[in-house]
Amino acid sequence: MATRGSRSEKVKRIFQQFDLNHDGGLNRQEMAALVVAVNPRVKFSDEQINAILDEVFRTYAEFIDPNKGLTYDGLLRTYDDGAGDVDRDFDALGLELNADEVTVKGSEASSSSITDERAVEAQKKQRTAAWAVSPNHGIVFDETWKLVDDLEILVKRLKSKQEKLKGDGNGNGNNNVDAFSDAGWSRELGPSSEVSEKRVYWEESSHEYNVFVKELGVLRSKADGARSREEAFDGHMAIGRVLYEHQLFKEGLVSFKRACELQPTDVRPHFKAGNCLYVLGKCKESKDEFLLALEAAESGGNQWAYLLPQIYVNLGIALEGEGMVLSACEYYREAAILCPTHYRALKLLGSALFGVGEYRAAVKALEEAIYLKPDYADAHCDLASSLHSMGEDERAIEVFQRAIDLKPGHVDALYNLGGLYMDLGRFQRASEMYTRVLAVWPNHWRAQLNKAVSLLGAGETEEAKRALKEALKLTNRVELHDAISHLKHLQKKKGKNNGNGNGGEGPFIVVEPSKFKTVGEKTTLRPDLATALQIRAFQRVTRLGKCDVEAVRKEMRDNDVPVSYSGSGGPTKSIRKPNLEEILRRLLNSLKPETFQGAIKAINEKILSVLDDSGSGRVDMGMFYAVIAPLCGGPSDKRKRVAFDALLWRPVNEGSSQITKTDAIKYIKLLRAVYIPSHGMSEMLEVHGEEEADSSMTVTFNQFLAMFDDPDWGFGIMSTILKLETNDRNRHGNQVCSVCRYPVIGSRFKEVKARFSLCNQCYSEGKVPPSFKQEEYKFREYGSESEAMKAKCVCFSMQSHKKPIAT
């Protein structure tokens, strides 16, 4: 180890080497040259260099001359603090000291050898703390470099024998990695190749790979046999980092886990282990490692402050991988607060807010990200999607186009712009966008299907048919078979119209509700069906029907919520939205992450926006459980009972067998405001003539049922929802809707006089074929074809009885 005298002289020589303008300071350009020069093995990105310089200039601000940069004393302090190894950097630069200089300086240092030894020990401890900003990649011990060099040779040998890229050979994926929105992945400050540049796949079952793992085990044993725990930690971290760089994530994880065992309170191995686990698709384990890293960083004082924003970002990404978007928003927001210039944190925050339906907040965050990084194509793409959701379509088109200009093969931007053109009825432009998507990603079946639909809208039926057949080659989903059947019906109809001269007539006419009459008690009224279809669509998106209502009761019983006091002073069991998301994840644990994300978005937009109308971010859990219970799985009476029990669970009713009438009225109002918003929340009870209930009045379960089942002022629509749950997947053989020409799925509504049939959707919208204009229409509902056949048989039987007897 160099003495203090020789160290200071070496630092001075390094300083002089890079002080090109000889002004006594190292400006950012000179410092960047120094960082690059002492790291010949490493390729830095501009972002990494800037991050390192920002940290150095911030940490050593007292040694920064505003006009010149970092002074000699400042550079000396960085080495004293362990941010670099003087001897290694000096050798890397090929510099030499004169013998007499070393002797003189050495004699000065010898007079205080005890002090120097203490300083050296302190430097050893400080080096690890400054690891991530160290110009020498964070390696502290000389022996570790030998391990790194040996490992590089092993990896190079393995790579030369059996590297294969995704998309080559037996690869089964899309090789256009650059076409998609990036994950915004954050890593430590310091050199590293982006994982997303080209994903490398290793043949782990090959002989060469097994040999590599054995030789790697020898290197790990050498690291374990180091002279101290700190050196062993240094060795395993370096091995892990090299493996991570070469995308040997599984093996890298082993090294980082070993480093975690050696120094459990160190942030870095947990952080890197989390990165490996995420890339390996283990989002839950990745999240757990990031939480350990966060705990260590928060308890470690300022030494880990620079890593906190990146831990928050990666923790958010891991949570999104589990489908926990609301929770991810919290961590992205924390990262952006700690580092306001972290454009990726802002982009991810905006994208996550868009994902939960909070479009205005999403636009704000995404615009800030673009302000910091104007060429950020992914941020432009998500900003355009948010603007489209807010109805600002023309501006959205401009922003989508900007994203495509920045990255011409951006699949997300092209696909979403195609959808926007479809919504605007600009079908030709839409088909062009989907064609460009398919040029980048040929097996994108949704793009192929949407191309067919847009061509159909543009009147190019033959082209649409060809596109549908191409989509059918990519997937065998039933929607494609229905679409092809639909096209055939349209072609037949077009042929008939060409023959009888009625081709100019529209495909349907819309009839006012009063002209739709029903035959039989079982036939659903048109307005009721329209409302029930909307609620059923929400139920299917959220998958609440897959959640047994008993699971809701169990959640209330087993996981109590602390009582808090709202602004009005009343006690409530309320929690923050991210905590509510965790409860929903338990209730909907069978859902895939992407499906759960869709469920959270729908619930946030439809339910939480009503329950949290003040924007506090907290939700009354008793009311929430009561509101979702009617749409959960299970018998109707059990759903209503759980809704009542959820109201009993609220602090104001707890311990009683009855609920206050105030709570019952509030619940019915909320239920209708959520699921039947067209009736209006405040208007409903005023029309009903209900006075404000006395707080002492209570409601029994039977009284609650009467309020709930009221068809006009309660939730009587539930009977229609139950019918849809039972029948809305029933197919009626070859029967097609006379308006939309799609196969009838669900109930079939047959007009008894004109004898045409409508599907659920067309009946609810009042659409009838233009060739059947009548003063009024009478419909009978059939839940299945067997019902229709039974009714037909009864009809024939009645007709035979009425026929006069021949004489």
First to last CA, the chain: 128
Pairing of strands 69-70, 571-572: unpaired
Phi-psi bin for 624: left (phi > 0), alpha (psi -120 to 50), beta?
A: alpha
Name the CA dihedral angle for 312, 315, 317, 319, rounded to a multiple of 10 degrees.
-130
| pLDDT digits 0-9 by tens, 75-106 | 888 877 666 777 778 877 877 765 444 333 33
182-196, 257-271, 683-697, 714-728: lowest mean pLDDT where?
182-196
The greatest distance separating any two alpha carbons of the chain, rounded to the nearest whole angstrom, comes to 143
Identify any residues that bridge with 69 across adjacent strands, giving them in sequence order: 65
Alpha carbons 742 and 745: distance in angstroms, whole number: 9
| pLDDT digits 0-9 by tens, 734-768 | 889 999 888 898 999 999 999 999 999 999 999 99
| pLDDT digits 0-9 by tens, 557-577 | 998 888 877 655 578 888 999
Nearest by Cα to 350 from 331, 369, 337, 335 = 369
How high is the pLDDT of residue 483? 63
Alpha carbons 401 and 422: distance in angstroms, whole number: 16
Nearest by Cα to 320 from 331, 311, 310 = 331
Phi/psi of residue 519, nearest 5 degrees: -115, 120
Alpha carbons 541 and 535: distance in angstroms, whole number: 10
Encoded amino acid at 714, one letter: G
Task: Tell me the two tokens of residue 455.
Answer: 């061509």
How high is the pLDDT of residue 211? 92
How high is the pLDDT of residue 412? 94
- Summary mean pLDDT of the chain: 82
How high is the pLDDT of residue 2? 44
User: What DSSP character marks residue 733?
Assistant: E
Domain at 89, CATH number: 1.10.238.10
CB 454 within 8 Å of CB 434: yes
* Residue 475: alpha-carbon gap to chain centroid: 25
35-44, 164-173, 549-558, 730-739: lowest mean pLDDT where?
164-173
Position with higher pLDDT, 124 vs 324 = 324
**Predicted confidence (pLDDT) at residue 582 exceeds the cutoff of 60:** yes
Buried b (16+ CB within 10 A) or exposed e, 678-717: eeebeebbeeeeeeebeeeebbeeeebbebbeeeebbbeb
For the chain, what percent of residues have pLDDT higher than 70?
80
In a domain, 730, yes or no: no
pLDDT band at residue 67 using 50, 70 and 90 as cut-offs: confident
Please state, as a whole number, how many other Cβ atoms lie within 10 Å of the Cβ of residue 506: 8
Alpha carbons 188 and 131: distance in angstroms, whole number: 10
| pLDDT digits 0-9 by tens, 320-370 | 999 999 999 999 999 999 999 999 999 999 999 999 999 999 999 999 999
In a domain, 447, yes or no: no
CB 746 within 8 Å of CB 777: no
Phi-psi bin for 742: left (phi > 0), alpha (psi -120 to 50), beta?
A: beta
How high is the pLDDT of residue 481? 62
How high is the pLDDT of residue 690? 46
**Predicted confidence (pLDDT) at residue 465 exceeds the cutoff of 80:** yes
In a domain, 628, yes or no: yes
User: What DSSP character marks residue 618?
Assistant: E
Task: Tell me the two tokens of residue 235.
Answer: 């060795």
Task: Calculate mean pLDDT across residues 145-174.
Answer: 70
| pLDDT digits 0-9 by tens, 691-706 | 455 567 899 999 999 9
Alpha carbons 34 and 14: distance in angstroms, whole number: 8
Position with higher pLDDT, 493 vs 711 = 711
- Sign (positive or negative) of CA dihedral 155, 160, 164, 165: positive
Residue 118, CA atoms < 13 Å, CB-side half-sphere = 3
pLDDT band at residue 732 using 50, 70 and 90 as cut-offs: confident
Domain boundary among 38, 58, 93: 93
Task: Calculate mean pLDDT across residues 678-697.
Answer: 52
| pLDDT digits 0-9 by tens, 374-425 | 999 999 999 999 999 999 999 999 999 999 999 999 999 999 999 999 999 9
Nearest by Cα to 151 from 103, 220, 90, 97 = 220
Helix (H, G, I), strand (E, B) or coil at 332: helix
Domain boundary among 44, 59, 93: 93
How high is the pLDDT of residue 593? 93
178-187, 501-510, 595-604: lowest mean pLDDT where?
178-187
Position with higher pLDDT, 111 vs 1 = 1
How high is the pLDDT of residue 198? 62
Task: Tell me the two tokens of residue 190.
Answer: 């310091």
Q: Domain of 65?
A: 3-93
Enumerate the H helices of 27-112 as residue ranges: 28-37, 46-59, 72-80, 86-92, 99-110
In a domain, 179, yes or no: no
For the chain, what percent of residues have pLDDT higher than 90?
51
Which residue is associated with the tokens 């808090």? 564
Task: Tell me the two tokens of residue 681.
Answer: 């929340």
Nearest by Cα to 411 from 175, 598, 594 = 175
* Residue 660: alpha-carbon gap to chain centroid: 40
Alpha carbons 211 and 217: distance in angstroms, whole number: 10
In a domain, 459, yes or no: no
How high is the pLDDT of residue 192? 35
Domain boundary among 40, 67, 93: 93
How high is the pLDDT of residue 396? 96
Alpha carbons 221 and 201: distance in angstroms, whole number: 26
User: What DSSP character marks residue 77?
Assistant: H
pLDDT band at residue 586 using 50, 70 and 90 as cut-offs: very high
Nearest by Cα to 135 from 230, 49, 26 = 49
What's the domain count of the chain? 2
In a domain, 489, yes or no: no
| pLDDT digits 0-9 by tens, 531-546 | 999 999 999 999 999 9
Alpha carbons 292 and 302: distance in angstroms, whole number: 17
Whole-angstrom CA distances from 711 to 349, 446, 527, 608, 715 are 43, 41, 12, 25, 6
How high is the pLDDT of residue 169? 46
Alpha carbons 415 and 433: distance in angstroms, whole number: 7
In a domain, 720, yes or no: no
Identify any residues that bridge with 660 across adjacent strands, giving them in sequence order: 698
DSSP line for 231-284 = HHHHHHHHHHHHHHHTT-HHHHHHHHHHHHHH-TT-HHHHHHHHHHHHHTT-HH
In a domain, 569, yes or no: yes
DSSP run (H or E) holding 455: helix 445-457
Buried b (16+ CB within 10 A) or exposed e, 631-661: bbbbeeebbbbbbbbbbbbbebbeeeebbbb
pLDDT band at residue 719 using 50, 70 and 90 as cut-offs: very high
